[in-house]
Amino acid sequence: MKIAFTSNYHGQGGTTSNVMAIANVITMVHNCRVLLMQTHFDKNNLQRSLFGLSTMNDSELQFDNMGIDALLRYSKAGPITEKMIHDCSISINKQKMNYIMGTEKKDRIIYEQEMLKRYLNIIDVMDQSYEYLVIDTNSCDDDLSQMILKEADLVVANLSQNINVIDEYLGCDRYMQYLGKTMFLIGNYNCNSSYNLSNIKRYSKSFTDSNIATIPYNVDYFDAQCDGKVLDFFARNIESKKGDSNYYFIKSIKEAALLIMEKELCCRKVV
């Protein structure tokens, strides 16, 4: 199932942070196979948070035959296969989750043109090969992002508690046309805000008990992202018990992931 994470403001709703949290819980708690990818031309925060590659240059990475760029090259020669996807990805979480590295191309226009032309053929094979294809999309109205939202089985809208951000999303036709297949996720959530979950639900009829969840701000998780140690963070904390410092954070992610999976199942039945 294709799940596209999006936002109307970069950085406000913690989109990439939420993507990593949800993907890790789906694999580690629900034992599902996940393929994780991003379509950003730049701002490869997903890659850096998972592997800490921010200070390494291209020659040090030695991933010439991996990532979305390799898949785009292969797609020019013939049909993409499940083996190609596996060979072009990095296996993590005991091989339950695979990560497709973002582009290293220097020309945004060339990259986006190639993605627009070949994306559908590539994700069809990805979708058939994994239980969940989780996509971190750009926070902008480019043609590629809009195509991804259109083709996704489920859209996860990452919002903040800033009422202006919420208003803009709910008032934007290009997002709200997908309301029936949208799950709302409030990132960096603070329960002490006047705009807590209960009040946000009352704010708009677009929100229901079954389509909105929260992921609170957590300083340990923030540091793990900065240090490129997100995988280690979840390995240490996924089984947190009541009284542990990160228990509430992990509990919230588990609840959000379950709601997303249930929403995805409902969308699948409708289709």
> What does 196-250 look like in DSSP terms, one character per residue?
-HHHHHHH-TT--TTSEEEEE--HHHHHHHHHT-HHHHHHHHTT--TTSTTHHHH
Segment 215-228, tens digit of pLDDT: 999 999 999 999 99
Q: With contact defined as beta carbons under 8 Å apart, do 156 and 259 qualify? A: no
- List the structure tokens of 228: 């490129």
b or e along 49-60 (b: 16 or more beta carbons within 10 Å of the residue's beta carbon)?
bbbebeeeeeee
CA–CA gap between residue 246 and residue 154 (Å, rounded): 28
- What share of the chain has pLDDT > 90, as a percent? 68
At residue 41, does pLDDT exceed 60? yes
At residue 63, does pLDDT exceed 60? no
Segment 189-215, tens digit of pLDDT: 999 999 999 999 999 999 999 999 999
Mean pLDDT of 71-94: 91
At residue 59, does pLDDT exceed 60? no
Mean pLDDT of 109-128: 90
- What share of the chain has pLDDT > 70, as a percent? 91
At residue 58, does pLDDT exceed 60? no
What is the predicted pLDDT for the residue at 108?
86
